A and B are shown apart, each in its own frame.
Chain A
Amino acid sequence: MFSVLTDNWPLFRDGFWLTIRLFLVSGVLSLIIGTVLGAFRVSPVPALRGFGTGYVNILRNTPLTLVFAFLFFGAAKMDLALPNPFWTAVGALTIYTSAFVCEVVRSGVNTIAPGQSEAARAVGMSFFQVLTIVVLPQAFRAIIPPLMSVLIALLKNTTIAAGFSVVEAGSIPAAMSERGENQLVTLLWITIGFLILIVPLIFLQRWAERRTAVA
Chain B
Amino acid sequence: MSDSDTLTKTGLVTLTGVNKHFGELHVLKDINLSIAKGEVVVVIGPSGSGKSTLCRAINRLEPIDSGDILLDGQALPSEGKALAKLRADVGMVFQSFNLFAHKTILQNVTLGPLKVRKTDPKQAEKRAMELLERVGVANQASKYPAQLSGGQQQRVAIARALAMDPKVILFDEPTSALDPEMIQEVLEVMVDLAKQGMTMVVVTHEMGFARTAANRVVFMAEGEIVEEASPETFFTNPTSRRAQDFLGKILKH
On A, residues with C-beta under 8 Å from B are 44, 113, 115-116, 118-126, 129, 133-134, 137-138, 214-215
Contacts and interface: CB of A to CB of B under 8 A. Distances in A.
B214 interface: no
Question: Max chain B CB contacts within 10 Å: which of A121, A124, A125, A129?
Answer: A124
Interface residues of B, number: 31
Contact of B98 (A115, A125, A138, A215): A115
30 contacts: A115-B94, A115-B96, A116-B100, A118-B94, A118-B98, A119-B94, A119-B98, A119-B99, A119-B100, A119-B157, A122-B59, A122-B87, A122-B90, A122-B91, A123-B87, A123-B88, A123-B160, A124-B86, A124-B89, A124-B112, A125-B84, A125-B115, A125-B116, A126-B84, A129-B115, A129-B116, A133-B111, A133-B115, A214-B101, A215-B144
Question: Max chain B CB contacts within 10 Å: which of A118, A122, A133, A138?
Answer: A122
Contacts of B157: 119
Contacts of B102: 134, 137-138
B92 A122 contact: yes
B81 interface: yes
A119 B98 CA distance: 6
Contact of B164 (A113, A120, A123, A133): A123
Contacts of A124: 84-89, 112, 116, 164
A166 B203 CA distance: 65
B107 to A, nearest CB: 10
Given A116-B98, A122-B87, 17 more contacts: A116-B101, A118-B61, A118-B94, A119-B92, A119-B98, A121-B84, A122-B91, A122-B92, A123-B88, A123-B112, A123-B164, A124-B84, A124-B116, A129-B115, A134-B102, A138-B102, A215-B144
Contacts of A121: 61, 84, 87
- 9 closest Cβ contacts across the A-B interface? A124-B88, A119-B98, A115-B98, A123-B112, A122-B92, A124-B116, A124-B87, A215-B144, A124-B84
Contact of B146 (A115, A119, A138, A215): A215
A129 B116 CA distance: 9
Interface in B89-124: 89-92, 94, 96, 98-102, 111-112, 115-116
B181 interface: no
Interface in B18-76: 59, 61
A163 to B, nearest CB: 44
Contacts of B89: 124
A126 B83 CA distance: 9
B3 interface: no
B147 interface: yes
Contacts of B5: none
Contacts of B79: 44
B100 A134 contact: yes
Contacts of A115: 94, 96, 98
A124 B71 CA distance: 14
B101 A138 contact: yes
Contact of A214 (B94, B115, B146): B146
A129 B88 CA distance: 13
Contacts of B90: 122
Nearest to B56: A118
A121 B63 CA distance: 13
